[in-house]
Each structure stands twice: as structure tokens, then as C-alpha cells.
């Protein structure tokens, strides 16, 4: 049973704290336009062609990091046949030479939008219902961490602009070189806390399965980004799938 006084909590950001699909797909489109010189930049999901938007939403379930949103739009252009995580990973591998360019372009678009049109940027990043109060009123903030593939400076900006005070040293940017399991293992060691007292909430099944061997409590955010197969896999692997109301109530205690 979770208790703020004795337990530690790690949260993913996109798909757990913020509903970021609008921001990420818009930035992915704009980065791809910058890369290809084709199409037009947009500032709302409604500006995308409906069929492309539906496919982009479906492919979002397979992303691992920021540049993957640009790969989504490359996949749309090439009409790639992607039906599972392995297909998406294979598509990325086929175009691995583009990874650094896509990474640079995606974050350049994010930096530009957040700096030049901050209100618009924030409007694309609404917090899920109830999450603001959970974070703002969290009693044991020294035991609370955000571990995300979103760069920490952007996470800090979004929290601050939503009136949520958060210790910047408790914001972690996870990537291939410094993964979520590695970060959590380091936190366990640094805080001298046993794994049974650490809870981690993410919406991405791969992240949870890779983190589970650390021995902590891994829970899937039902309100985040995944499909029915990934949802079923979480249950098959014995992971608890939390609804948003359950999350807000249980982790406020």
C-alpha cells in the first residue's frame, strides 16, 4: 500500500502528467517539413489532414524519444507498414542515418515554439485532470521524482507555468545512455531505500518491462498512450493498470 510518508514515487511525464500528443505531433510535423522542404507547418492537430492524423495517433503508441515523432511523419510519407513496436523499431533502424538530424530538428522546433509562442505551446500541453492538485499538494516532495524522455528544462517550464513548484534536481531526462531503470537504481542507492518502497508509473509497456527487474512496483497509466495489445501485455506480465481516478486518489495519501 502506497504511503507518501515512507514510499518513493517516480512518474513519467508525457502520458502520465501531461496529455502531450498535440504538442509532439505538431512539432514532429513541423520538424519533418523543415527536413523535407515539403508540406506546411501547423500549430494545431486540426490543421493536419484527418487520415494522416489518425495514423499518426496510432503510431504514437510506439515512440521512445523526441525524434521518433519525426519518424512518424516520415512513415506517413512512405506509407510504411507498421503494426507493432518491432515494426516501428525496424523502420527507425532502416533510416538510422537520420536520427541525429531528426533529434536536432525536433528540439529546435520545440525551443522555437516554447520561446516565441509560449501561450500556444502551453495550450498544446494540458495536464490530466486531478494531476495538478496531486503534484502541487504532494506532502513529501523530497520523495517525488519525474523520470522522462522529455528534457528536464522543458518539464520544469511546464510545471512552473502551471503553478507547480518542483525541485529541479528531482527531474531526470532519460535516454539510451541513461535509462529509466538506471536512474531508478541510482535513486534507490542514493536514498538507501529498498526497492519495495519505490513506485514507478509509466504509460509505455517497454519502459515498465525493462524497469521491473529492478524490483520496484511498476504500474501502467491506463489514461496514457498505448493500444489494446500493449494494455493486455501489461496485464499478462502481472503489471497493475491504473485508471486516472485511482492514480490521483491512491497517490495523494
Q: Write the pLDDT tens digit of every residue in 114-141.
A: 999 999 999 999 999 999 999 999 999 9
Does residue 147 contact residue 187 with C-beta atoms inside 8 Å?
no
Reported as a single tens digit per residue, the pLDDT across 189-230 is 999 999 999 999 999 999 999 999 999 999 999 999 999 999
In this structure, are residues 170 and 147 in contact, taking their beta carbons and an 8 Å threshold? Answer: no
Alpha helices in 95-173 (DSSP H): 99-116, 118-123, 131-136, 152-161
How open is the CA angle 95-101-107, to the nearest 5 degrees? Answer: 125
pLDDT of res. 213: 97
pLDDT of residue 160: 96
Look at residue 170 and tell me whether its pLDDT is greater than 90. yes
- Residue-level pLDDT at 226: 94
Q: Are 216 and 195 in contact (CB under 8 A)?
A: yes
**What pLDDT digit, counting tens, does each position of 4-61 carry?**
999 999 999 999 999 999 999 999 999 999 999 999 999 998 999 999 999 999 999 9
Say what the pLDDT of residue 17 is: 98
Cα–Cα distance for residue pair 131/145, rounded to 1 Å: 14
Q: What is the pLDDT of residue 176?
A: 86
| Superfamily in which the 8-19+126-250 domain is placed by CATH | HAD superfamily/HAD-like (3.40.50.1000)
- Sketch the domain layout of the chain as residue ranges: 8-19+126-250, 21-123
- The pTM (predicted TM-score) of the whole model is 0.94
Amino acid at each position: 500500500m502506497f504511503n507518501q510518508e515512507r514510499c518513493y514515487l517516480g512518474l513519467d511525464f508525457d502520458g502520465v502528467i501531461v496529455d502531450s500528443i498535440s504538442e509532439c505531433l505538431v512539432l514532429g510535423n513541423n520538424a519533418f517539413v523543415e527536413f523535407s522542404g515539403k508540406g506546411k507547418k501547423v500549430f494545431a492537430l486540426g490543421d493536419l489532414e484527418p487520415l494522416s492524423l489518425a495514423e499518426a495517433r496510432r503510431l504514437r503508441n510506439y515512440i521512445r524519444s523526441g525524434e521518433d515523432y519525426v519518424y512518424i511523419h516520415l512513415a506517413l510519407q512512405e506509407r510504411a507498414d507498421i503494426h507493432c513496436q518491432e515494426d516501428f523499431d525496424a523502420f527507425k533502424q532502416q533510416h538510422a542515418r537520420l536520427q541525429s538530424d531528426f533529434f536536432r530538428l525536433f528540439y529546435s522546433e520545440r525551443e522555437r515554439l516554447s520561446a516565441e509562442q509560449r501561450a500556444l505551446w502551453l495550450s498544446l500541453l494540458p495536464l490530466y485532470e486531478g494531476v495538478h492538485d496531486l503534484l502541487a499538494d504532494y506532502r513529501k516532495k523530497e520523495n517525488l521524482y519525474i523520470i522522462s524522455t522529455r528534457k528536464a528544462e522543458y518539464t520544469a517550464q511546464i510545471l512552473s507555468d502551471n503553478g507547480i513548484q518542483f525541485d529541479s534536481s528531482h527531474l531526470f531526462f532519460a535516454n539510451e545512455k541513461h535509462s529509466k531503470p538506471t536512474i531508478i537504481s541510482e535513486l534507490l542507492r542514493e536514498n538507501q531505500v529498498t526497492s519495495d518502497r519505490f513506485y514507478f508509473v509509466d504509460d509505455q509497456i517497454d519502459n515498465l518491462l525493462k524497469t521491473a527487474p529492478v524490483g520496484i512496483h511498476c504500474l501502467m497509466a491506463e489514461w496514457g498512450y498505448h493500444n489494446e495489445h500493449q494494455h493486455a501485455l501489461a496485464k499478462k506480465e502481472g503489471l497493475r493498470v491504473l485508471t486516472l481516478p485511482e492514480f490521483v486518489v491512491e497517490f495523494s495519501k
